[in-house]
Amino acid sequence: MNRTRRKTRPRPKPQSPRAAPVDPARLAQLKAELRELRKQLLLERDDFQANEQAMAETQQELELSRERYANLYDSAPVGYVLLDREGFIREANLTAARMLGVDRQILCEMMLARFIVESDSRRKLLKHLANCRRSASPVQGTTELKLTAADGRQLDVALTSSPEPSLGKRPGKVRLHSVLEDITARKRAEEALRRSEKLYRAIGESIDYGVWVCAADGRNTYASESFLKLVGQTQEQCSNYGWGDVLHPDDAERTIAAWRTCVRTGGTWDIEHRYRGTDGQYHPVLARGVPIQNEQGEITAWAGINLDISRLKQAEAKLQELTQRLTYHVDHSPLAVIEWGPEMRLVRWSGAAERIFGWRAEEVLGRRIEDFKWVCEADQTQVDEVRTDLASGANPRRFSANRNYRKDGSIVHCEWYNSALLDADGKLRSILSLVLDVTGRVRAEEQLRLLSAAVESAGNGVAISNRQGIVQWVNPAFAKLTGYSQAEAVGQNPRVLKSGRQSAEFYREMWDTILAGKVWRGELINRRKDGSLYSEEMTLTPVRVDGAEISHFVAIKQDISARKQAEEALRASEARFRSVFDHAATGIAISDCAGRLVQCNAAYCNLTGYSQSELATMELSALILPEDREQERDFIRGLLDGGIPSYEIENRYRHRDGRPIWMRKHVSTLRDPSGEPTHLIALVTDMTDRKQIEETHAFLARSGYQAGSEEFFRALARHLGQSLGMDLVRIDRLTGDGLTAQTVAILFDGKFEDNVAYALKDTPGHDLVGQTICCFSRDVCRLFPRDAVLQGMEAESYIGTTLWGLDEEPVGLIAVAGRRPLLNPRLAESVLKLVSVRAAGELQRAQAEAALRQARDELEERVRERTAELRRSNENLREEIAVRRQAEQELAEAELRYRTVADFTYDWEYWETPDLRVNYCSPSCERVTGFSAQEFVGDPSLLQRIVHPEDAALWQKHREESLAATEPRAIQFRVVKKDGSVRWVEHAWQPVQGRDGRFLGIRACNRDITERKANEIQTQQLREELAHVSRTTTAGHLAASLAHELNQPLTAILSNAQTARILLAADPPDIKEIRDVLDDIEYDSQRAGGVIQRLRALFKKTGQQRGLLQINDVIRETLDLLRSEFVVNGVSAGVHLEPELPHVLGDRIELQQVVLNLIVNAMDAMSESTPGQRRLHISTCGEQGGTIRISIRDSGPGIQVQPVSQLFEPFFTTKASGMGMGLTISQSILEAHGSSLHAANNADRGATFHFNLPVHRIENA
Amino acid sequence: MNSGAPTVFVVDDDASVRKALARAIQTAGMSVSTFASAREFLDHGAPPPGLGCIVLDVRMPGLSGLDLQAELSARNIHTPIVFISGHGDIPMSVKAMKRGAVDFLTKPFKVTDLMAAIQEAMRKAAQLEASRAGQAEMQRRIDLLTPREREVLNLVVKGLLNKQIAAELGAAERTIKVHRGRVMQKMQVQSVAALVRAVESVKHEG
């Protein structure tokens, strides 16, 4: 079981002997842990139980499985046995026990070998077991054994064994699982098959034409189709001895008898006989047959064939004819036929003899051999000897080769084939000679002998081989060359010489050439007999005899090993020198005297950047910078004149990519044998690095400390850019914590840019800080994808150095970047290291200077500020003086102005002295009253007299009160004009006091407000109209909730009425209950009536009806109207009415309208809020100053308009459906009640509208 | 209030209506219980297990009738509701019916209409009670499971194979097989499909 279980062991709790104060947090944690642990334990318990069950099930399954396998084991068709190392059977299945005929128990104590009788099988078994034990592989091959069962049965068994799979046991000690397969039946079947196979093999062996089979007693059992077809019999007809019926009558008896004999003796059947074919002709047939024998040698059958030999017979006839024809041909052959009679007189002289010897037959016939000069004298003795031999009969057939004379005296070489014909008593009857002219052959042989002598003695090895390549002959030189003696070489295939150095292709090409009849020539490396290699040049010539097929090849071999070796040495030497040339680190260029390149090495190409082919098209001096060319000219001249042997020079080259390279060059000449210079050899090395280091040193020395630091950094940047060939140079000062840098010089593409501060993060600078050198030769752009500068310029390379301060802290960076890969990082590194010390010093010096400068600047700044302050206060003083002076002047002007204003004011102004005399009256009094100013000044009682009688009391009261008053007062009253008309006057009264508080008199201002009064009345009427319209609108708005308000009592009434009817139907009816029902109906009816009444009041159009009111009642009635509305809108209304408030004077309907209007507005404002948040608060409270404050507070979004007073303007609305008149009307109603409406946003949320109503004073009533 | 006697709960803010309806329902021979607000109903009357229905006014101060319906639903109380309203508009009634209201009566209504609606609601209550009993049985079976078995059950319901569950819980597949067998046995189901159905029914409820 492979489980990973998280073990959450409770941590050992800290146990203290004394009760430590329990940390509640710790306790909680422990509890949580305990809970977790308990949960874990429960889960574990569950799993444990489940596992237990699972295991029980597994065991049961295993048991079943074991039983199944046991059954399988016993019922298997093969026997299983387990053999221990001694070969004892330790376990066996039932099949094995049955097979061996032993009870299983007993079998398990026996050796397997006990069942083997045959020694061959015993040996096989031992070998099998040994093999199995020795081998590591599980299953071994099958061994077939013959066993003898305990009951004597013979068994053929196939034995397969595999070592018991057990670890750690050495092979050979293991037990074997063996499988015994009873193959007895199979063996028998095989035997039968083998016999049958034998039979057919016999048939096959003799098959030619017509197969037949006969039984052991000779009766035919089978004849093949072809035979039956030949004789026109069916198989049945042919069976037994039916075939005898179609035999030729002459052959029948003989054949049958012979067959019987053959069957009896068991010999081979072979006979020629004739069968009558269906075509009516007799066919000669050769019959052959063999007896088929079983293992005991008994004949079980006969099998054979019938061969139609009619064609054979025909062939015999043809042969005879051919022989005759051959004889004819012999007669007419080129051989001369000559015959001598008994006395050696010529009796026969054939045409060929005439051709060979030139004599015609009539010239020689009848003559003796001595009669004409015919035999060469040199050969006379030989010829005589032959003749004697022949004539004596000692050697009747005698061959001789000798020279004869032709008729014209020329010599002809002849071969004589003589035979003597003797009669019965040994007397010579005639000599017959066949003569062959071999003159041509002899001549050729002689020539060949001559040639071969020449060849034999030749220095070149010569070998002649036949068409198959087998060596026929070799000369001694060949033997010397190859180490094979002539005798050894002949009969060999030239393959023995193969060294393996030439490819199969090479040989194929060679054979193709020579088999095509062409001569092949080539060099090849061969191996001698002693194994050493040699080079040879071989010419292979195919030889055709008489232009026919190729019959021979002649190989002529020349040893060229020495030449080859010399060549090889030369080539190796050349390669060595070339290698030196090619791989030299120094650039080498060989040019002709005119400076054109002949050859250069790879180093030279690398240095200049040009390929050799490019260089070949240009003059080498063009590589040198024009200004450096001149200095070399004299040297070259001197070199070519022979004045100097060589020279060395340093000058600048232009690399192919444009950059200059400093080269050190050593030039010498190559001269021909006569001493004339032929070539110039230049050895060049790149010394740019050294030069640049030198230049950097020079630069540092040049830029002294006098220069300002900015100039220094710019010069440094420029120097680095040029000398390193980079596109961007940046010198930074590290600021802050080393995470940001402030540049002191940026050189980009040759131009300086403005200094910037930047963060080092994501730039190579980040890596650089704290390291002396940081170099990215290529791909820097890809490494720093977020560095905008590197990305922008598509930088390829980057190298930077840290500038170290005196305190060993990094103070700055120098970074250079280029668009090309950095070719020489080492140089760049050296240069940067060189300048870094100086740059760091400069950076620190600049920093110190900057600090100093800043301190000085700060001081100056402070002085400037103080000066400015002083100047400012001075100016203020001056301004003040000027202002005062102006004020004095203005005062004088004002007096004049005020007087003018008073005189020309529209209102009627007058002044009274403290003793109530009029001392000034403005001229406008005449317009208001018809009386002149003089009249008022002259008559103090005039004012009193013109007051309208109805307002006289008011006026009188005002006069009395005003005597004690110190505050301004105002009253309105009517006056009667001089012409008798009545005017409304607004009288504003004001006591005037001097600066010292002295009472100076009274100023009064009277304004004619007659027109305004008329307007006011008209406005009042309009307002009432409007208020009514507004009320009805509001009532319409409330219709839905009012309907609901009506619905409630109606529902109750309806329900009660129906219930009452049911109650009445009961027997007896519950009278008390019915009375209750009727009471409820009455109550609800009144309730519905009340609703309707209130509604009607809203619709009623009334004039102003002022009366004493309890404002709380007014508010309650309004809330009654709105009850349903609150419910519908989900508004919770809080009401706080201060009890026992004094009365106010006012119009009930109008005030109700104001409250209604404000509440409806508040609900509208809250309609956007969530229902739970809609809170309305209505309150009343008495306030100081004799007013009652009525507030309506909502929790809506508040007033959004500014200024708030805008709300009260006509037609201003924030509602989609509003008229924009509600608040305006409310305001006007309140104004008519001596009050006004105020609105303000609450501190938390929503807005509050409030108004104060003046309390009605009873004493004033 | 017992599951034995079916009770009609009347919730209406108007005292007259409340009294009249209570009287009518009582006269029809049913027990009735009245509440002046949804809050009062929630605090005192609800939730009554067993048979019953609610006659509920839509417009009330504080929690509205629809709010109460939602609240009961949230508390997993499915007592059938008959809505009554003084001013019923169609969207409101659709909303109420969608949430499972039995009927929606507009004030003033006939007592006979109300009674018919109450009868219907009672029938529905009886059905609900029956299905609730079935779910309670399933819940009881789930409660029989050990913690591990419950974990296995959750994963089986998610459609995981034994092998996956074993990996998830860090146990042998063999062990999970046993757990699973026990779960099926305790839940008294024959197939995984039936198991999923049983768990789903309880899930909707809980």
- Token readout for A961 is 């009160």
- Say what the ipTM of the complex is: 0.71
Chain-centroid distance, C-alpha A453 = 83
The answer to whether B61 contacts chain A (CB < 8 Å) is yes
Contact with chain A for residue B29, Cβ under 8 A: no
Distance of CA A47 to the CA centre of its chain: 44
List the one residue out of A352, A337, A356, A340 whose CA is nearest residue A429. Answer: A340
Question: Is B17 in contact with A1055 (Cβ distance < 8 A)?
Answer: yes
Shortest Cα distance from B132 to chain A (angstroms)? 31
Strands (E), A52-174: 79-83, 89-92, 143-148, 154-163
Q: How large is the angle between the packed helices B173-187 and B111-144, nearest 10 degrees?
A: 140
**Cβ-defined contact of A1051 to B175 (cutoff 8 Å):** no
The beta-carbon neighbor of A1132 closest among B61, B108, B182 is B61
| C-beta atoms surrounding A1061 within 10 Å | 12
B109: closest chain A residue by CA: A1051
List, as own/partner pairs, every contact residues B66-73 make where C-beta atoms lie below 8 angstroms and the sequence separation is at least 24, other chains included: B66/B92, B66/B95, B66/B96, B66/B99, B67/B38, B68/B11, B68/B38, B68/B41, B68/B42, B69/B96, B69/B99, B69/B100, B69/B101, B70/B99, B71/B38, B71/B42, B72/B46, B72/B47, B73/B99, B73/B100
The answer to whether B111 contacts chain A (CB < 8 Å) is: yes
Q: For residue B176, what is the nearest residue in chain A, using CA coordinates?
A: A50
CA B150 to chain A, closest CA, distance in angstroms equals 10
- The pLDDT of residue A1: 43
pLDDT along chain A (1261 residues), means of 10: 49 53 83 88 83 83 78 76 82 84 84 83 84 67 83 84 64 72 79 66 50 80 75 80 82 84 81 82 79 77 73 65 54 70 79 81 81 80 82 75 84 82 75 78 70 64 82 82 84 83 87 85 86 84 72 81 76 74 78 82 84 83 83 82 83 82 84 80 81 80 67 84 84 80 86 84 79 82 83 86 82 86 80 82 80 85 86 85 82 72 76 80 84 83 86 86 80 87 86 79 84 78 74 74 82 91 87 91 90 77 76 87 80 88 87 86 83 86 88 87 72 62 80 86 88 76 36
- Across the beta sheet with A918-921, what order do the strands follow? A918-921, A908-912, A999-1008, A982-993, A969-976
Could you tell me which of A1040, A1046, A973, A1035 has the C-alpha nearest to residue A1004? A973
Specify the higher pLDDT residue, B62 or A453: B62
Helix (H) or strand (E) holding A444: helix A439-457
**Cα nearest neighbour of A1047 on chain B:** B86
Question: Min CA distance, B131 vs chain A (Å)?
Answer: 33
CB-nearest to A43 from B19, B148, B178 is: B148
- pLDDT value for A778: 81
Interface contact flag, B170 A3, Cβ < 8 Å: yes
Are A416 and A379 in contact, with CB atoms under 8 Å apart?
no
Which positions in chain A touch B61 (Cβ < 8 Å)? 1126-1127, 1132
Cβ <8 Å between A54 and B17: no
Per-residue pLDDT at B1 exceeds 50: no
Tokens 């574990």 label which residue? A44
Q: A1051–B108: do the CB atoms touch at under 8 Å?
A: yes
Distance from CA of A1160 to the nearest CA of B (A): 17
Q: Taking an 8 Å Cβ-Cβ cutoff, which residues of chain A contact chain B?
A: 1-6, 39, 42-43, 46-47, 50-51, 53-54, 57-58, 1040, 1043-1044, 1047-1056, 1058-1059, 1062-1063, 1077, 1080, 1083-1084, 1087, 1124, 1126-1128, 1130, 1132
How many other CB atoms are there within 10 angstroms of residue A1175's CB atom? Answer: 18
Pairwise CA distance, residues A471 & A461, whole Å? 13
Indicate which of B13, B56, B64, B174 best probes the interface with A, i.e. most A CBs within 10 Å of its own CB: B174
Provide the angle, in degrees to the nearest 10, between the axes of the packed helices A1222-1232 and A1148-1166: 150
pTM: 0.34
Report phi then psi at A137, rounded to 5: -70, 145
Residues A1135 and A1176: their CA atoms lie apart, in Å, by 8
Put simply, the answer to whether A1087 touches B16 (Cβ < 8 Å) is yes
Instruction: Give the count of Cβ contacts less than 8 A between chain A and B.
Output: 122
Residue A4: its chain B contacts at CB < 8 A? 170
pLDDT value, residue A1180: 92
Q: Which of B16, B110, B148 sits opposite A1052 (nearest CB)?
A: B16
For residue A33, the number of C-alpha atoms closer than 13 Å in the C-beta half-sphere is 13
Sequential DSSP letters for A869-898: HHHHHHHHHHHHHHHHHHHHHHHHHHHHHH
Distance from the Cα of B152 to chain A's closest Cα (Å) equals: 11
Q: Report CA A1222 to chain centroid distance, whole Å.
A: 74
Environment class of A1124 (CB within 10 Å of its CB; exposed 0-12, middle 13-18, buried 19+): buried
Q: Distance (Å, rounded) from C-alpha A974 to C-alpha A962?
A: 18
Cβ distance of A54 and B177 shorter than 8 Å: yes
Q: CA–CA separation, A723 vs A689, rounded Å?
A: 10
Hey, what amino acid is at A620?
L
Residue type at A130 in one-letter notation: A
Backbone angles phi, psi at A9, to 5 degrees: -85, 140
Which residue do the tokens 């409770």 mark?
A10
For residues A95 and A120, the answer to whether their CB atoms sit within 8 Å is: no
The pLDDT value given to residue A1260: 42
Q: In chain A, which residues have their Cβ closer than 8 Å to the Cβ of B109?
A: 1051, 1054
Q: Give tens-digit pLDDT for B69-108.
A: 888 888 878 888 999 987 667 788 888 888 888 888 888 8
Instruction: Write b or e for each residue in A399-422: b if 16 or more Cβ atoms lie within 10 A of its Cβ, otherwise e.
Output: ebebbbbeeeeeebbbbbebebeb
CB A195 within 8 A of CB A187: no
Percent above pLDDT 90 for chain B: 11
Q: Give the Cα-Cα-Cα angle A272, A276, A277 (nearest 5 degrees).
A: 110
Which of B178, B179, B182, B185 to probe by mutation at the A interface, max A CB count within 10 Å? B178
Alpha-carbon distance B68 to nearest alpha carbon in chain A (angstroms): 14
Give the distance, in angstroms, between the CA of residue A4 and the centroid of all CA atoms in the same chain. Answer: 35
Say yes or no for a CB contact (<8 Å) between A1080 and B107.
no
Q: State whether A1083 and B16 contact (CB < 8 Å).
A: yes
- How many of the other CB atoms lie within 10 Å of CB of B14? 24
| Chain A contact for B177 (CB, 8 A cutoff) | yes
pLDDT at A1215: 64
Q: Does B148 touch chain A (CB under 8 A)?
A: yes
Task: Return all residues near A1092 (Cβ < 8 A) that are at least 6 apart.
Answer: A1046
